[in-house]
Structure 1
Amino acid sequence: MDTGDIVWVLISAALVWIMTPGLALFYGGLANKKYASNTVFLSVIILGIAPLVWSVLGYSLAFSGNGKFIGNLHNVLLNGISFSKSTMNLNIPDAAFMLFQGMFPIITVAIITGSVVGRVNLKAMLMFIPIWLITVYTPLAHMVWGGGLLAKLGALDFAGGDVVHISSGVSGLVLAILIGKRRKLKDENDEPDNIVNVVIGGALLWIGWFGFNSGSALAANSTAILAFVNTSIAAASAMVMWFIIDFIRTNKAKITGALSGSLVGLVVITPAAGLVSPTAALSMALVATPIVYFLINFLKNKFHYDDTLDAFGFHGIGGIIGGILTGVFAFKENGGLIATGSLKQLGIQGVAVIFTIIFAGVMTFIIAKLISLVVPLRVEESVEIKGIDYELHGEYISILGSTQFNNRFHTGNK
């Protein structure tokens, strides 16, 4: 065991954990005042649910056994997990590996909630979260990182393009379509609730992503450094590119736009972080950013779905582009198209992306339909119109939000 590697992986695990509170603030700051608290709550409660699911069953299903699609129950309740030795030929104990990997399902399922905030039934969502983690996340983690089907195929996913971003983005889209569009008052708009929270949340996501990508090297080595550098370059260049495009189109210098751009860069580089050069990281961000920028609104206007906070737009589309570009820019030893002139790895990446889309989409549809037989997927119309924060939570992210609720609904001034 290597003490330096252990320390780095533990620090990285903490950085990945902090991404979910960061996402809560980021989402909550962007959300309408009627459901800003509900938006934050959905991420916060996942901090409790996901680690329990992972410890009891998820880790075992993801990283035990040699099945093509799923692991086994050998490590249920963390049975047999060593705190001093590795069974995976790593320089860190199995328990450290388990802890680091266990931070990823937290942020993954939290991303999904951004597609449906404002109208999803809390009871339905609380049922959906553990079921999705067991039936969608853990099989994908096993297939990509646990020696399963996609790993055997040769798919490259350094830190979670397929497992985290495509799966959450596509699942969010399916839920958004099944639940339907938000109901709004005539004078209601989608102005962000709290720009300061967006900035704080964006900063926490950015710094947490260094652990997300660099920690995926599972050692304090040159690959970790490369992933760290690539993550920084991709986020920065995508931020600048998004700002330029948005400023030209709107003549407004938006804080939310700049941070949205950084998010695109972070998502796109995730599957390739330790597998490409810094120049490639820059290229991936510059290629992906305009595609994501224009495709988000085009798809929403074309197909009329309500992806509330663009979870599919940023994570789904960004993850798909990142997964494909990994096959283009990967180092020669990883079969990248530019380095080898061969289309083989690009084809493998395409198969992995398509498989992930279909698997996550179909499974999410099935889970949601089964839950709808027990409880409605959507809150009542009156609750949605008045605002879930007012009706369900009784607490507000901002004083302004509380004041507006009191003026509008307590006085009957609608």
Structure 2
Amino acid sequence: MNLKPVCPALSLAILPALLPSLAQAQDTEPVLSAGDTAFVATCALIVMLMMLPGLGLFYAGMTRSKNVLSVLTQIIASISLICVLWILYGYSLTFADGGGMQGLIGGTSKLFLSGVNADSLVGTIPEYLYVMFMMMFAAITPPIIVGAFAERMKFAAVLIFMGVWLTINYIPMAHMAWGGGWVFGIGVQDFAGGNVVHLNAGMAALVCALVLGPRKGYGSQMMAPHNMTMTYTGGAMLWVGWLAFCGGCALAANGYAMVIMLNTMLGGAGGALAWMAVEWAHRGKPSTFGLLSGTIAGLVAITPACGFVGPAGAILVGALVSPVCVFFVEVVKHRFGYDDSFDVFGVHGVAAFVGGILTVIFAAPALGGIGYAEGRTMLSQMLPQVLIMLFSMTVSVVTTWIALKIAGALVGLRVDEEAELEGLDIAEHGEVGYRLGDGVYGGALVMAGAEGQPVPRPAMTVAKAH
């Protein structure tokens, strides 16, 4: 069965088994479904809330107060840029027929959305809606990387990096996995973008952290989150948005979509509780930051698994991934000394890889999953699963390095030392996030009091003093 993919969720090998109605629809004229359209449109809007206020607040609260606006600005500007580029060429190069290059990149027949109109359908929903829903995936993936280089990268470099990375990394990766490319034909069990979104962004974050180097004072000065209530609010919005992110991939309002959303919710819950338990045992106190970190780790891990496992398996996927992420955040990061500001690699990258492996394990019918494609066993499914994840990691490392080199050659990557000490809010944007009653920049006062002070015992994802 060789169906044209309509969603990142659906693996070629198991699509007919999961959605037989789509298989039958090959020989019939597609018909618009008002229910499916309303459901996917709602999911798209909720994913937008997940991006702009959700990711923005989650990251902004983790910064020092002198850099809060810089992170918010980087995220909203990156999302805006990516949305425009997606319409200009991103959608076409991802989903249009690529001719002789079909295995690696799509074609140019839908540049500027040529040929897309109000009557064209993808499955049972308008193609315009499909364009928008997939635009949300494209727009949220590169900004995840902001958490790795926060507080030290030039704004102009951020924009150049985002545009280049989208073009040479995300679009080919999305086409290969979702748009009919060679990865799609392998039948990897990755429901909603564990590879293309989270593993890809996580590896890119590690490369960015290594290339840019640590922030000034990393390991010796206060770098704890300046506003945990802001981070909590953003993290809660991410959790809500994740249900729409994964559930909308069914492209239909049906029972299967509801299982996906339930599994997504449970993956986050399992991750939160497991991180809390590890932190409680390790530090003697559970922290809000630890619970949020575990929630995100569980959500990342369940992203590839949510369409293949049962509810009990979803809880275990989240619970098993959190201790691994804790180890990378608490031990590996400090042993090697890289400054991944908000632990994008330690959470997104690590959880996506572990989640990809756990997907195959808990997809087993004996463990409540839906099973494997005909002729495949757990072991034979695991081989392409791991190989494609390794391929994704390699592509991410190479393309991220190239994008950084291009941005660095054009405008330079890092702000100068004076700007970094002053804060990027003022140095890069000429404004401040907070003012005290007398009009003095609150962030500057906070930092003046923190210079040279030892770093207190942080939450599980905050840089420690060496």
TM-score, scaled relative to structure 1 = 0.93
2:361–2:378 Cα contact (<8 Å) kept: no
Give the Cα–Cα distance (whole angstroms) in 1 for the partners of residues 192 and 432 of structure 2: 35
- The match for 1:110 is 143
Whether 1:396 and 2:429 are equivalent positions in the alignment is no
Mapping of residues 311-390 of structure 1, within 5 Å: 311-330=344-363, 335-336=371-372, 341-390=377-426
- Asked if the contact 1:170–1:360 (Cα under 8 Å) also holds between the matched residues in 2, the reply is yes
For 2:86, which of 42, 46, 54 is the aligned residue? 54
Shift of 1:37: 1.6
Q: Distance in 1 between matches of 2:112 and 2:337?
A: 43
CA distance, structure 2, for counterparts of residue 205 and residue 331 of structure 1 = 29
Q: Which has more radius of gyration?
A: 2
Match of 1:255 among 288, 291, 313: 288
For 1:379, the aligned partner's letter is: V
How far has the Cα of 1:255 moved from its partner? 1.0
Contact 2:50-2:242 at 8 Å conserved across structures: yes
Residue of structure 2 in register with 1:224 after alignment: 257
CA RMSD in angstroms, aligned pairs only: 2.3
What amino acid is aligned across from residue 365 of structure 1 in structure 2? Answer: W
Q: Within the alignment, does 1:160 sit opposite 2:193 as a pair?
A: yes
The percent identity for this pair of structures is: 34
Distance in 1, matches of 2:138 and 2:446, equals 40
Partner amino acid for 1:137? Y
Output one character per residue of 1:9-45: Cα deviation in whole Å (capped at 9) or x when no partner. Answer: 1011111111112111000001122322211111111
1:204-283 → structure 2 map (5 Å cutoff): 204-283=237-316
Give, in angstroms, the shift of residue 227 of structure 1.
0.7
1:17 to 39, 43, 48: 48
The answer (yes or no) to whether the contact 1:328–1:336 under 8 Å persists in 2 is no
Q: Give the Cα separation in 2 of the matches to 1:57 and 1:126.
A: 17
CA–CA distance in 2 between the matches of 1:185 and 1:212? 34
2:163 matched to which residue of 1? 130
- Alpha-carbon distance, 1:186 to partner: 9.1
Alpha-carbon contact 2:273-2:319 (below 8 Å) kept:
no
CA-CA distance at 1:278 after TM superposition? 0.8
In the alignment, structure 1 segments of 5+ residues that lack a partner are none
Q: Counterparts of 1:378 and 1:362 in 2: how far apart (Å)? A: 20
Q: 1:187: Cα distance to partner?
A: 6.9
* CA separation of 1:372 and 1:275: change in aligned 2, threshold 3 A: same
Deviation string 1:295-354 (CA, Å, 9 cap, x unpaired) is 2222212222110001111111111111122122225596559x9743111111101100
Letter in 1 for 2:410: V
Give secondary structure in 2 for the equivalent of 1:30: coil
Alignment correspondent of 1:4:
35
d(CA) in 1 for partners of 2:254, 2:59: 34
Q: Secondary structure at the match of 1:114?
A: helix
* Cα offset, 1:100, TM superposition: 0.4
Contact 2:60/2:68, CA 8 A, preserved across alignment: yes
Instruction: Go from structure 1 to structure 2 and tell me whether the alpha carbon gap of 1:188 and 1:145 turns closer, same or farther (over 3 Å shift).
Output: same
Instruction: Name the SS for the 1:74 alignment partner.
Output: coil
Check the 8 A contact 2:360/2:378 in 1, yes or no. Answer: no
Task: Name the stretch that deviates more: 281-290 or 2-11.
Answer: 281-290
The aligned residue for residue 227 of structure 2 is: 194
**Inter-partner Cα distance in structure 1 for 2:256 and 2:421:** 50
Q: Matched residue of 1:35: which SS?
A: helix
Matches within 5 A, 1:33-44: 33-44=65-76
The TM-score normalised by the length of structure 2 is: 0.83
Q: Is the 8 A contact 2:58 2:235 kept in 1?
A: yes
Q: Distance in 2 between matches of 1:50 and 1:160?
A: 18
Aligned residue type for 2:201: S
CA deviation after TM superposition for structure 1 residue 173, in Å: 1.0
Cross-structure match for 2:108 = 73
Residue 156 of structure 2 aligns with an amino acid whose one-letter code is K
> Which 5+ residue runs of structure 2 have no aligned equivalent?
1-31, 454-466
Q: How do 1:285-304 residues align onto structure 2 when only pairs under 5 Å count?
A: 285-304=318-337
Paired residues of 1:185 and 1:385 also in contact (CA < 8 A): no
3-state secondary structure, aligned to 1:373: helix
- The code of the aligned residue for 2:223 comes to D
Alpha-carbon distance in structure 1 between the residues aligned to 2:125 and 2:117: 10
Instruction: Please state which structure has a larger fraction of its residues in helix.
Output: 1
